[in-house]
A and B are shown apart, each in its own frame.
Chain A
Amino acid sequence: MTIGSTRFAAIALLASAGLLLAACSTPSTARIVTETADPVRGTVTVLAAASLTEVYGELAARFEKLHPGVTITESFGGSSALAAQIVQGAPADILATANEATMKTVTDAGLADGTPIVYATNILTLVVPPSNPANITAVADLAKPGVKVALCDKTVPCGSAALSLLSAEKVTVTPVTLETDVKAVLTKVELDEVDAGLVYVTDAKTAGGKVRQIAVPDAANAVNRYPIVVLAGSTNKTTARAFEQFVLSTTGLNALKKAGFGAP
Protein backbone atom coordinates (compact mmCIF):
# COMPACT_ATOMS: atom_id res chain seq x y z
CA MET A 1 0.00 0.00 0.00
CA THR A 2 1.32 3.40 -0.91
CA ILE A 3 1.22 6.39 1.37
CA GLY A 4 -1.47 7.98 -0.79
CA SER A 5 -3.89 5.09 -0.39
CA THR A 6 -3.24 4.86 3.33
CA ARG A 7 -4.23 8.48 3.70
CA PHE A 8 -7.31 7.92 1.61
CA ALA A 9 -8.32 4.95 3.72
CA ALA A 10 -7.90 6.97 6.88
CA ILE A 11 -10.06 9.78 5.57
CA ALA A 12 -12.71 7.32 4.44
CA LEU A 13 -12.70 5.67 7.85
CA LEU A 14 -13.04 8.98 9.65
CA ALA A 15 -15.82 10.09 7.34
CA SER A 16 -17.84 6.92 7.86
CA ALA A 17 -17.29 7.13 11.59
CA GLY A 18 -18.52 10.68 11.49
CA LEU A 19 -21.62 9.70 9.57
CA LEU A 20 -22.32 6.85 11.95
CA LEU A 21 -22.07 9.16 14.91
CA ALA A 22 -24.39 11.65 13.27
CA ALA A 23 -26.93 8.97 12.49
CA CYS A 24 -26.78 7.53 15.95
CA SER A 25 -27.18 10.87 17.56
CA THR A 26 -30.45 11.78 15.83
CA PRO A 27 -32.81 9.52 17.76
CA SER A 28 -31.69 10.82 21.11
CA THR A 29 -32.04 14.43 20.05
CA ALA A 30 -35.38 13.58 18.47
CA ARG A 31 -36.47 11.95 21.67
CA ILE A 32 -35.77 15.12 23.54
CA VAL A 33 -37.64 17.16 20.96
CA THR A 34 -40.72 14.91 20.74
CA GLU A 35 -41.74 15.44 24.30
CA THR A 36 -42.47 19.03 23.55
CA ALA A 37 -43.17 18.87 19.75
CA ASP A 38 -46.19 18.29 17.54
CA PRO A 39 -47.28 14.59 17.58
CA VAL A 40 -48.28 15.04 13.95
CA ARG A 41 -45.00 14.68 12.07
CA GLY A 42 -43.07 12.49 9.69
CA THR A 43 -44.03 11.27 6.21
CA VAL A 44 -47.43 10.13 5.05
CA THR A 45 -47.94 8.46 1.68
CA VAL A 46 -51.32 9.05 0.08
CA LEU A 47 -52.55 7.06 -2.92
CA ALA A 48 -55.44 8.95 -4.50
CA ALA A 49 -57.59 8.76 -7.62
CA ALA A 50 -56.50 10.82 -10.59
CA SER A 51 -59.54 13.07 -10.31
CA LEU A 52 -58.31 14.18 -6.87
CA THR A 53 -54.97 15.44 -8.19
CA GLU A 54 -55.53 19.14 -7.87
CA VAL A 55 -57.66 19.31 -4.72
CA TYR A 56 -55.54 16.82 -2.76
CA GLY A 57 -52.41 18.61 -3.88
CA GLU A 58 -53.80 21.83 -2.44
CA LEU A 59 -54.96 20.18 0.81
CA ALA A 60 -51.58 18.50 1.30
CA ALA A 61 -49.78 21.83 0.94
CA ARG A 62 -52.08 23.47 3.47
CA PHE A 63 -51.69 20.58 5.91
CA GLU A 64 -47.91 20.77 5.67
CA LYS A 65 -48.08 24.49 6.47
CA LEU A 66 -50.12 23.77 9.59
CA HIS A 67 -47.75 21.01 10.68
CA PRO A 68 -44.20 21.93 9.69
CA GLY A 69 -42.77 18.55 10.63
CA VAL A 70 -44.98 16.72 8.15
CA THR A 71 -44.30 15.66 4.55
CA ILE A 72 -47.19 14.36 2.49
CA THR A 73 -46.19 12.31 -0.57
CA GLU A 74 -48.98 11.73 -3.03
CA SER A 75 -49.34 9.34 -5.91
CA PHE A 76 -52.26 9.75 -8.29
CA GLY A 77 -53.59 7.27 -10.80
CA GLY A 78 -56.46 5.05 -11.82
CA SER A 79 -58.20 3.83 -8.66
CA SER A 80 -58.08 0.19 -9.70
CA ALA A 81 -54.32 0.43 -10.32
CA LEU A 82 -53.79 1.99 -6.89
CA ALA A 83 -55.93 -0.61 -5.16
CA ALA A 84 -54.05 -3.37 -6.96
CA GLN A 85 -50.75 -1.89 -5.82
CA ILE A 86 -51.87 -1.92 -2.19
CA VAL A 87 -53.06 -5.49 -2.47
CA GLN A 88 -49.62 -6.33 -3.93
CA GLY A 89 -48.01 -4.80 -0.85
CA ALA A 90 -47.20 -1.21 -1.79
CA PRO A 91 -46.29 0.78 1.32
CA ALA A 92 -48.88 3.53 1.80
CA ASP A 93 -50.74 5.23 4.66
CA ILE A 94 -53.96 6.46 3.06
CA LEU A 95 -56.08 5.35 0.12
CA ALA A 96 -58.67 7.64 -1.50
CA THR A 97 -60.48 6.08 -4.47
CA ALA A 98 -63.06 7.40 -6.93
CA ASN A 99 -65.66 4.76 -6.21
CA GLU A 100 -66.60 2.21 -3.62
CA ALA A 101 -66.05 -0.83 -5.83
CA THR A 102 -62.30 -0.27 -6.09
CA MET A 103 -62.07 0.49 -2.36
CA LYS A 104 -63.83 -2.82 -1.71
CA THR A 105 -60.93 -4.84 -3.15
CA VAL A 106 -58.70 -3.36 -0.45
CA THR A 107 -61.16 -3.78 2.43
CA ASP A 108 -61.94 -7.33 1.31
CA ALA A 109 -58.25 -8.11 1.53
CA GLY A 110 -58.28 -6.93 5.13
CA LEU A 111 -55.83 -4.12 4.41
CA ALA A 112 -57.92 -1.22 5.66
CA ASP A 113 -57.72 0.10 9.19
CA GLY A 114 -61.36 0.68 10.03
CA THR A 115 -64.28 1.45 7.75
CA PRO A 116 -63.82 3.74 4.75
CA ILE A 117 -65.66 7.05 5.01
CA VAL A 118 -67.47 8.50 1.98
CA TYR A 119 -66.90 12.24 1.95
CA ALA A 120 -67.59 13.46 -1.57
CA THR A 121 -69.31 12.59 -4.80
CA ASN A 122 -68.54 13.27 -8.41
CA ILE A 123 -70.62 13.18 -11.52
CA LEU A 124 -69.66 13.03 -15.14
CA THR A 125 -69.80 15.72 -17.75
CA LEU A 126 -69.21 15.90 -21.45
CA VAL A 127 -66.12 17.78 -22.65
CA VAL A 128 -65.16 18.72 -26.18
CA PRO A 129 -62.20 20.62 -27.65
CA PRO A 130 -62.71 24.40 -27.65
CA SER A 131 -63.46 24.40 -31.37
CA ASN A 132 -66.03 21.59 -30.98
CA PRO A 133 -65.08 20.04 -34.34
CA ALA A 134 -67.95 17.55 -34.36
CA ASN A 135 -70.61 20.00 -33.17
CA ILE A 136 -71.55 18.06 -30.09
CA THR A 137 -74.46 19.44 -28.12
CA ALA A 138 -75.65 16.45 -26.11
CA VAL A 139 -74.72 12.93 -25.07
CA ALA A 140 -76.89 11.54 -27.87
CA ASP A 141 -74.52 13.13 -30.41
CA LEU A 142 -71.78 10.74 -29.27
CA ALA A 143 -73.49 7.91 -31.12
CA LYS A 144 -73.34 9.70 -34.47
CA PRO A 145 -71.11 7.93 -36.99
CA GLY A 146 -67.65 9.36 -37.39
CA VAL A 147 -67.57 10.98 -33.95
CA LYS A 148 -64.38 10.11 -32.06
CA VAL A 149 -65.09 9.56 -28.37
CA ALA A 150 -62.60 8.82 -25.59
CA LEU A 151 -63.82 6.99 -22.48
CA CYS A 152 -62.24 5.43 -19.43
CA ASP A 153 -61.94 1.66 -19.40
CA LYS A 154 -64.71 -0.08 -17.50
CA THR A 155 -62.24 -1.31 -14.88
CA VAL A 156 -61.65 2.30 -13.79
CA PRO A 157 -64.33 4.21 -11.75
CA CYS A 158 -64.96 6.91 -14.36
CA GLY A 159 -65.36 4.14 -16.93
CA SER A 160 -67.99 2.24 -15.02
CA ALA A 161 -69.79 5.53 -14.35
CA ALA A 162 -69.68 6.34 -18.05
CA LEU A 163 -71.18 2.96 -18.90
CA SER A 164 -74.06 3.46 -16.44
CA LEU A 165 -74.66 6.96 -17.73
CA LEU A 166 -74.72 5.89 -21.37
CA SER A 167 -77.01 2.97 -20.71
CA ALA A 168 -79.33 5.22 -18.67
CA GLU A 169 -79.46 7.62 -21.61
CA LYS A 170 -79.85 4.65 -23.97
CA VAL A 171 -76.97 5.82 -26.12
CA THR A 172 -74.62 3.30 -27.76
CA VAL A 173 -71.15 4.66 -28.24
CA THR A 174 -68.14 3.03 -29.90
CA PRO A 175 -65.17 4.87 -28.46
CA VAL A 176 -61.85 5.04 -30.22
CA THR A 177 -60.00 4.43 -27.00
CA LEU A 178 -60.59 3.15 -23.47
CA GLU A 179 -58.01 4.85 -21.29
CA THR A 180 -56.57 3.70 -17.98
CA ASP A 181 -57.41 6.85 -16.06
CA VAL A 182 -59.61 9.92 -16.42
CA LYS A 183 -56.74 12.38 -16.90
CA ALA A 184 -55.68 10.48 -20.05
CA VAL A 185 -59.17 11.04 -21.46
CA LEU A 186 -58.97 14.70 -20.59
CA THR A 187 -55.58 15.03 -22.30
CA LYS A 188 -56.88 13.51 -25.51
CA VAL A 189 -59.69 16.08 -25.57
CA GLU A 190 -57.34 18.94 -24.72
CA LEU A 191 -55.05 17.92 -27.59
CA ASP A 192 -58.04 17.91 -29.96
CA GLU A 193 -57.30 14.29 -30.84
CA VAL A 194 -60.88 13.23 -30.10
CA ASP A 195 -64.19 14.99 -30.62
CA ALA A 196 -65.51 14.36 -27.10
CA GLY A 197 -64.85 12.63 -23.81
CA LEU A 198 -66.69 11.80 -20.61
CA VAL A 199 -64.80 13.05 -17.56
CA TYR A 200 -65.69 14.23 -14.10
CA VAL A 201 -67.05 17.76 -13.60
CA THR A 202 -64.04 18.34 -11.38
CA ASP A 203 -61.69 17.53 -14.25
CA ALA A 204 -63.56 19.87 -16.58
CA LYS A 205 -63.11 22.58 -13.98
CA THR A 206 -59.36 22.10 -13.67
CA ALA A 207 -58.95 22.07 -17.42
CA GLY A 208 -60.46 25.52 -17.58
CA GLY A 209 -60.42 26.99 -21.06
CA LYS A 210 -58.59 24.07 -22.58
CA VAL A 211 -61.88 22.24 -23.05
CA ARG A 212 -65.50 23.22 -23.50
CA GLN A 213 -67.93 21.65 -21.10
CA ILE A 214 -71.37 20.45 -22.10
CA ALA A 215 -73.62 19.69 -19.16
CA VAL A 216 -75.27 16.30 -19.02
CA PRO A 217 -78.74 16.77 -17.48
CA ASP A 218 -79.08 13.23 -16.11
CA ALA A 219 -75.50 12.89 -14.96
CA ALA A 220 -76.78 12.45 -11.43
CA ASN A 221 -77.90 8.97 -12.51
CA ALA A 222 -74.30 7.83 -12.38
CA VAL A 223 -72.73 9.13 -9.24
CA ASN A 224 -69.33 8.06 -7.96
CA ARG A 225 -68.97 8.08 -4.20
CA TYR A 226 -65.45 8.83 -2.98
CA PRO A 227 -64.25 6.93 0.11
CA ILE A 228 -61.07 7.51 2.11
CA VAL A 229 -59.42 5.14 4.55
CA VAL A 230 -56.24 4.77 6.60
CA LEU A 231 -54.45 1.56 5.71
CA ALA A 232 -53.66 -1.22 8.16
CA GLY A 233 -50.05 -1.31 6.99
CA SER A 234 -49.49 2.37 7.74
CA THR A 235 -46.35 3.12 9.73
CA ASN A 236 -47.53 6.57 10.77
CA LYS A 237 -51.15 6.12 11.78
CA THR A 238 -51.28 9.22 14.00
CA THR A 239 -50.36 11.60 11.21
CA ALA A 240 -52.36 9.63 8.66
CA ARG A 241 -55.51 9.93 10.73
CA ALA A 242 -54.79 13.62 11.23
CA PHE A 243 -54.64 14.17 7.48
CA GLU A 244 -57.78 12.11 6.98
CA GLN A 245 -59.55 14.31 9.53
CA PHE A 246 -58.25 17.37 7.71
CA VAL A 247 -59.78 16.18 4.47
CA LEU A 248 -63.06 15.51 6.25
CA SER A 249 -62.97 18.85 8.08
CA THR A 250 -64.85 21.95 6.97
CA THR A 251 -61.67 23.23 5.33
CA GLY A 252 -61.29 20.05 3.33
CA LEU A 253 -64.95 19.82 2.35
CA ASN A 254 -64.96 23.46 1.25
CA ALA A 255 -61.95 22.86 -0.95
CA LEU A 256 -63.67 19.84 -2.48
CA LYS A 257 -66.85 21.84 -3.05
CA LYS A 258 -64.86 24.59 -4.73
CA ALA A 259 -63.27 22.04 -7.02
CA GLY A 260 -66.68 20.85 -8.11
CA PHE A 261 -67.20 17.77 -5.97
CA GLY A 262 -70.64 17.13 -4.56
CA ALA A 263 -71.64 16.38 -0.99
CA PRO A 264 -72.00 12.69 -0.02
Chain B
Amino acid sequence: MPPSTGIRRGRGPAVVVWVIAAVALALLVLPLVAVLLSAPWPQLPALLVAPETLQALGLSVLTGAISTALCLVLGIPLAVVLARSVSWPVVPRRLLRAAVTIPLVLPPVVGGLALLLLLGRTGVLGRYLAPLGVTIPFTTGAVVIAQTFVAMPFLVFAVEGALRGADRRVELAAASLGASPWQVFRTVTLPLVAPGIAAGAVLCFARALGEFGATITFAGSYPGVTRTLPIASYLASQTDLTQSIALALVLLVVSVAVLLGLRDRWLPGVRG
Protein backbone atom coordinates (compact mmCIF):
# COMPACT_ATOMS: atom_id res chain seq x y z
CA MET B 1 0.00 0.00 0.00
CA PRO B 2 1.58 3.34 -0.95
CA PRO B 3 2.02 5.71 2.00
CA SER B 4 -0.52 8.53 2.07
CA THR B 5 1.69 11.60 2.10
CA GLY B 6 0.56 15.07 1.12
CA ILE B 7 2.30 15.05 -2.26
CA ARG B 8 2.50 11.93 -4.37
CA ARG B 9 4.98 11.63 -7.20
CA GLY B 10 3.25 11.89 -10.54
CA ARG B 11 -0.26 11.87 -9.15
CA GLY B 12 -0.76 15.39 -7.79
CA PRO B 13 -1.81 16.34 -4.26
CA ALA B 14 -3.74 13.85 -2.17
CA VAL B 15 -7.48 14.14 -1.65
CA VAL B 16 -7.02 15.64 1.81
CA VAL B 17 -5.18 18.58 0.34
CA TRP B 18 -7.97 19.20 -2.19
CA VAL B 19 -10.62 19.09 0.50
CA ILE B 20 -8.88 21.56 2.76
CA ALA B 21 -8.18 23.82 -0.21
CA ALA B 22 -11.87 23.73 -1.05
CA VAL B 23 -12.77 24.78 2.48
CA ALA B 24 -10.29 27.65 2.30
CA LEU B 25 -11.70 28.76 -1.03
CA ALA B 26 -15.23 28.58 0.37
CA LEU B 27 -14.23 30.83 3.26
CA LEU B 28 -13.00 33.43 0.80
CA VAL B 29 -15.74 33.20 -1.78
CA LEU B 30 -18.96 32.41 0.11
CA PRO B 31 -19.20 35.74 1.97
CA LEU B 32 -19.12 37.51 -1.39
CA VAL B 33 -21.79 35.16 -2.67
CA ALA B 34 -23.88 36.06 0.39
CA VAL B 35 -23.57 39.76 -0.43
CA LEU B 36 -24.67 39.10 -3.99
CA LEU B 37 -27.59 36.98 -2.84
CA SER B 38 -28.72 39.51 -0.20
CA ALA B 39 -28.41 42.50 -2.49
CA PRO B 40 -31.67 44.43 -2.90
CA TRP B 41 -31.61 44.07 -6.68
CA PRO B 42 -34.92 45.84 -7.46
CA GLN B 43 -34.02 48.87 -5.33
CA LEU B 44 -30.39 48.93 -6.41
CA PRO B 45 -30.60 51.53 -9.19
CA ALA B 46 -32.29 54.05 -6.87
CA LEU B 47 -29.88 53.32 -4.02
CA LEU B 48 -26.87 53.65 -6.28
CA VAL B 49 -27.73 57.11 -7.52
CA ALA B 50 -28.60 58.36 -4.05
CA PRO B 51 -26.46 61.40 -3.18
CA GLU B 52 -24.87 59.67 -0.16
CA THR B 53 -23.75 56.77 -2.36
CA LEU B 54 -22.35 58.89 -5.16
CA GLN B 55 -20.61 61.21 -2.71
CA ALA B 56 -18.96 58.34 -0.87
CA LEU B 57 -18.03 56.58 -4.10
CA GLY B 58 -16.51 59.69 -5.67
CA LEU B 59 -14.56 60.46 -2.52
CA SER B 60 -13.27 56.89 -2.15
CA VAL B 61 -12.12 56.62 -5.75
CA LEU B 62 -10.52 60.06 -5.73
CA THR B 63 -8.64 59.60 -2.46
CA GLY B 64 -7.73 56.03 -3.38
CA ALA B 65 -6.21 57.15 -6.68
CA ILE B 66 -4.26 60.01 -5.09
CA SER B 67 -3.02 57.74 -2.31
CA THR B 68 -1.86 55.16 -4.85
CA ALA B 69 -0.02 57.82 -6.84
CA LEU B 70 1.61 59.05 -3.63
CA CYS B 71 2.57 55.49 -2.70
CA LEU B 72 4.20 55.03 -6.11
CA VAL B 73 6.19 58.26 -5.93
CA LEU B 74 7.37 57.66 -2.38
CA GLY B 75 7.38 53.89 -2.38
CA ILE B 76 9.44 53.00 -5.44
CA PRO B 77 12.60 54.74 -4.22
CA LEU B 78 12.06 53.17 -0.81
CA ALA B 79 11.74 49.78 -2.49
CA VAL B 80 15.00 50.38 -4.37
CA VAL B 81 16.77 51.17 -1.09
CA LEU B 82 15.19 48.16 0.57
CA ALA B 83 16.30 45.87 -2.25
CA ARG B 84 19.86 47.20 -2.05
CA SER B 85 19.91 46.86 1.73
CA VAL B 86 20.85 43.19 1.47
CA SER B 87 24.45 44.33 1.48
CA TRP B 88 24.03 46.34 4.70
CA PRO B 89 25.02 45.11 8.16
CA VAL B 90 22.33 43.18 10.02
CA VAL B 91 20.96 45.78 12.43
CA PRO B 92 20.29 48.67 10.03
CA ARG B 93 18.93 46.23 7.47
CA ARG B 94 16.43 44.71 9.92
CA LEU B 95 15.42 48.11 11.28
CA LEU B 96 14.65 49.37 7.79
CA ARG B 97 12.49 46.38 7.01
CA ALA B 98 10.71 46.67 10.37
CA ALA B 99 9.97 50.33 9.72
CA VAL B 100 8.36 49.55 6.39
CA THR B 101 6.27 46.81 8.03
CA ILE B 102 4.86 49.08 10.75
CA PRO B 103 1.55 49.96 9.04
CA LEU B 104 0.95 46.26 8.38
CA VAL B 105 1.10 45.23 12.01
CA LEU B 106 -0.42 48.34 13.55
CA PRO B 107 -4.21 48.17 14.01
CA PRO B 108 -5.64 50.83 11.70
CA VAL B 109 -7.32 52.76 14.52
CA VAL B 110 -4.01 52.93 16.35
CA GLY B 111 -2.45 54.19 13.13
CA GLY B 112 -5.11 56.87 12.87
CA LEU B 113 -4.55 57.90 16.47
CA ALA B 114 -0.80 58.07 15.87
CA LEU B 115 -1.35 60.30 12.84
CA LEU B 116 -3.61 62.50 14.94
CA LEU B 117 -0.97 62.81 17.64
CA LEU B 118 1.58 63.75 15.00
CA LEU B 119 -0.33 65.98 12.65
CA GLY B 120 -3.29 67.10 14.76
CA ARG B 121 -3.78 70.64 15.89
CA THR B 122 -1.80 70.02 19.06
CA GLY B 123 0.29 67.28 17.51
CA VAL B 124 4.03 66.92 17.62
CA LEU B 125 4.38 68.44 14.14
CA GLY B 126 0.90 69.76 13.68
CA ARG B 127 1.32 72.43 16.31
CA TYR B 128 3.78 74.23 14.04
CA LEU B 129 1.40 74.09 11.11
CA ALA B 130 -1.63 75.42 12.99
CA PRO B 131 -0.38 79.03 13.33
CA LEU B 132 0.23 78.99 9.57
CA GLY B 133 -3.44 78.22 9.11
CA VAL B 134 -2.77 74.64 8.05
CA THR B 135 -4.85 72.02 9.80
CA ILE B 136 -4.87 68.50 8.47
CA PRO B 137 -7.50 66.49 10.40
CA PHE B 138 -11.06 66.53 9.04
CA THR B 139 -9.85 67.35 5.52
CA THR B 140 -9.82 65.18 2.43
CA GLY B 141 -6.05 65.47 2.60
CA ALA B 142 -6.16 63.68 5.92
CA VAL B 143 -8.01 60.81 4.23
CA VAL B 144 -5.22 60.60 1.65
CA ILE B 145 -2.56 60.60 4.36
CA ALA B 146 -4.32 57.87 6.34
CA GLN B 147 -4.77 55.73 3.23
CA THR B 148 -1.18 56.25 2.09
CA PHE B 149 0.05 55.27 5.55
CA VAL B 150 -1.77 51.93 5.58
CA ALA B 151 -1.26 51.07 1.90
CA MET B 152 2.42 51.97 1.43
CA PRO B 153 3.92 48.64 2.62
CA PHE B 154 1.89 46.74 0.00
CA LEU B 155 3.51 48.72 -2.78
CA VAL B 156 7.01 48.74 -1.31
CA PHE B 157 7.16 44.99 -0.77
CA ALA B 158 5.68 44.21 -4.20
CA VAL B 159 8.23 46.42 -5.97
CA GLU B 160 11.08 45.11 -3.83
CA GLY B 161 10.10 41.57 -4.74
CA ALA B 162 10.07 42.46 -8.43
CA LEU B 163 13.47 44.16 -8.15
CA ARG B 164 14.98 41.16 -6.40
CA GLY B 165 13.43 38.66 -8.80
CA ALA B 166 14.43 40.35 -12.02
CA ASP B 167 17.56 38.98 -13.66
CA ARG B 168 19.76 41.99 -13.06
CA ARG B 169 22.45 40.69 -15.39
CA VAL B 170 20.61 42.25 -18.33
CA GLU B 171 21.75 45.54 -16.81
CA LEU B 172 25.32 44.44 -17.57
CA ALA B 173 24.33 43.82 -21.17
CA ALA B 174 22.75 47.25 -21.37
CA ALA B 175 25.90 48.87 -19.99
CA SER B 176 28.06 47.05 -22.54
CA LEU B 177 25.80 48.46 -25.25
CA GLY B 178 26.59 51.99 -24.15
CA ALA B 179 23.78 52.77 -21.68
CA SER B 180 24.63 55.05 -18.75
CA PRO B 181 23.39 53.98 -15.29
CA TRP B 182 20.36 56.30 -15.57
CA GLN B 183 19.57 54.96 -19.04
CA VAL B 184 19.89 51.40 -17.75
CA PHE B 185 17.40 52.18 -14.97
CA ARG B 186 14.96 53.90 -17.33
CA THR B 187 15.08 51.53 -20.31
CA VAL B 188 15.80 48.15 -18.71
CA THR B 189 15.32 47.99 -14.93
CA LEU B 190 12.04 49.89 -14.72
CA PRO B 191 10.29 48.06 -17.60
CA LEU B 192 11.41 44.74 -16.12
CA VAL B 193 9.89 45.53 -12.76
CA ALA B 194 6.82 47.23 -14.25
CA PRO B 195 4.56 44.20 -13.79
CA GLY B 196 5.60 44.05 -10.14
CA ILE B 197 4.93 47.76 -9.78
CA ALA B 198 1.52 47.36 -11.38
CA ALA B 199 0.63 44.51 -9.06
CA GLY B 200 1.76 46.58 -6.09
CA ALA B 201 -0.30 49.54 -7.25
CA VAL B 202 -3.42 47.40 -7.53
CA LEU B 203 -2.95 46.05 -4.01
CA CYS B 204 -2.26 49.55 -2.79
CA PHE B 205 -5.44 50.94 -4.34
CA ALA B 206 -7.55 48.12 -2.99
CA ARG B 207 -6.17 48.63 0.52
CA ALA B 208 -6.67 52.38 0.35
CA LEU B 209 -10.22 51.92 -0.88
CA GLY B 210 -11.08 49.69 2.04
CA GLU B 211 -9.43 51.70 4.80
CA PHE B 212 -11.76 52.50 7.71
CA GLY B 213 -10.19 52.73 11.16
CA ALA B 214 -7.34 55.10 10.43
CA THR B 215 -9.54 57.32 8.28
CA ILE B 216 -12.35 57.70 10.79
CA THR B 217 -9.95 58.35 13.68
CA PHE B 218 -7.68 60.82 11.89
CA ALA B 219 -9.90 62.41 9.28
CA GLY B 220 -13.31 62.03 10.91
CA SER B 221 -16.53 61.32 9.06
CA TYR B 222 -18.31 64.01 7.09
CA PRO B 223 -20.27 63.36 3.90
CA GLY B 224 -18.44 64.48 0.78
CA VAL B 225 -15.28 65.44 2.64
CA THR B 226 -14.11 62.48 4.66
CA ARG B 227 -16.93 59.91 4.66
CA THR B 228 -15.54 57.24 2.37
CA LEU B 229 -17.47 54.17 1.15
CA PRO B 230 -16.46 51.87 4.02
CA ILE B 231 -17.44 54.46 6.65
CA ALA B 232 -20.73 55.19 4.88
CA SER B 233 -21.44 51.48 4.66
CA TYR B 234 -20.74 51.01 8.37
CA LEU B 235 -23.01 53.87 9.40
CA ALA B 236 -25.76 52.62 7.09
CA SER B 237 -25.48 49.10 8.48
CA GLN B 238 -26.84 50.39 11.77
CA THR B 239 -30.03 51.86 10.41
CA ASP B 240 -30.62 50.87 6.80
CA LEU B 241 -29.18 47.48 5.95
CA THR B 242 -30.24 47.61 2.30
CA GLN B 243 -28.34 50.88 1.81
CA SER B 244 -25.36 49.31 3.51
CA ILE B 245 -25.40 46.29 1.21
CA ALA B 246 -25.72 48.55 -1.81
CA LEU B 247 -22.62 50.46 -0.73
CA ALA B 248 -20.77 47.22 -0.08
CA LEU B 249 -21.67 46.06 -3.57
CA VAL B 250 -20.30 49.26 -5.07
CA LEU B 251 -17.03 48.72 -3.23
CA LEU B 252 -16.88 45.16 -4.52
CA VAL B 253 -17.52 46.14 -8.13
CA VAL B 254 -14.93 48.94 -8.10
CA SER B 255 -12.28 46.65 -6.62
CA VAL B 256 -12.91 43.86 -9.11
CA ALA B 257 -12.98 46.34 -12.01
CA VAL B 258 -9.59 47.75 -11.02
CA LEU B 259 -8.15 44.26 -10.67
CA LEU B 260 -9.35 43.16 -14.10
CA GLY B 261 -8.61 46.44 -15.85
CA LEU B 262 -4.99 46.69 -14.85
CA ARG B 263 -4.03 43.07 -15.52
CA ASP B 264 -4.62 43.35 -19.25
CA ARG B 265 -2.50 46.44 -19.69
CA TRP B 266 0.63 44.90 -18.34
CA LEU B 267 0.42 41.53 -20.02
CA PRO B 268 1.79 42.15 -23.58
CA GLY B 269 5.51 42.07 -24.09
CA VAL B 270 6.54 40.49 -20.86
CA ARG B 271 6.06 36.78 -20.40
CA GLY B 272 3.83 35.66 -17.55
Interface check B239, CB cutoff 8 A: yes
User: When A175-B222, A191-B122, A193-B116 are in contact, do A80 and B239 touch as well, CB less than 8 Å?
Assistant: yes
| Contacts A191-B122, A193-B116; A177 near B238 (Cβ below 8 A) | no
Q: Given that A81-B238, A83-B238, A155-B238 are contacting pairs, would A193 and B121 also be in contact in the complex, using a CB cutoff of 8 Å?
A: yes
- Kindly state whether residue B196 has any CB partner on chain A within 8 Å: no
Cβ of B255 within 8 Å of any chain A Cβ, yes or no, is: no
With a cutoff of 8 Å between Cβ atoms, the chain A residues found around residue B238 in the complex are 78, 80-81, 83-84, 155-156
Asked if residues A153 and B122 are in contact (CB atoms below 8 Å), the reply is: no
Q: Is A150 an interface residue (CB 8 A)?
A: yes
Summarize A's interface: helix, strand, loop or mixed.
loop
Number of interface residues of A (CB under 8 A): 21
CA distance A179 to B135 in the complex (A): 19
In the bound complex, how far is the Cα of B33 from the Cα of A4, in angstroms? 48
Q: Which residues of A contact B189 (CB under 8 A)?
A: none
A84 touches B116 (CB 8 A): no
- Tell me the bound Cα distance from A150 to B219 in angstroms: 12
Contacts of A177 in B (CB 8 A): 138, 220-222, 226
Q: How far is the CB of B139 from chain A (nearest CB, A)?
A: 9
Residue interface mask A183-222, B partner, CB < 8 A = 1:
0000010011110000000000000000000000000000
A150:B120 contact, CB within 8 angstroms: no
Residues of B within 8 A of A194 (CB): 138
User: B242 near A: Cβ within 8 Å?
Assistant: no
Nearest chain A residue, comparing its CB with the CB of B126: A193
> What's the Cα separation between A194 and B117 when bound, in Å?
13
Q: Is A180 a contact of B235 with CB atoms below 8 Å?
A: yes
A176-B138 in contact given A191-B116, A193-B116 (Cβ < 8 Å):
yes
Determine the distance from Cα of A105 to Cα of B226 in the docked complex, in whole angstroms.
Answer: 28
Whether A248 sits at the interface, judged by CB under 8 Å, is no
Q: Does the CB pair B222–A180 fall under 8 Å?
A: no
Q: Is B210 an interface residue (CB 8 A)?
A: no
A59 contacts B by Cβ under 8 Å: no
Q: Which residues of A contact B120 (CB under 8 A)?
A: 191-193
The digit string for B120-137, where 1 denotes a CB below 8 A from any CB of A, is: 111000000000000101
Is B101 engaged at the interface, CB distance under 8 Å to the other chain? no
A180 pairs with B220, CB closer than 8 A:
no
Given contacts A155-B235, A178-B227, 14 further A-B contacts (CB under 8 A): A80-B238, A148-B138, A155-B239, A156-B238, A175-B222, A176-B138, A177-B138, A177-B221, A177-B226, A178-B223, A180-B221, A193-B120, A193-B121, A193-B137
18 A–B pairs (Cβ distance < 8 Å), ordered by A: A80-B239, A84-B241, A148-B135, A153-B221, A155-B238, A175-B222, A176-B138, A176-B222, A178-B221, A178-B223, A179-B220, A180-B216, A180-B235, A191-B120, A193-B116, A193-B120, A193-B137, A194-B138
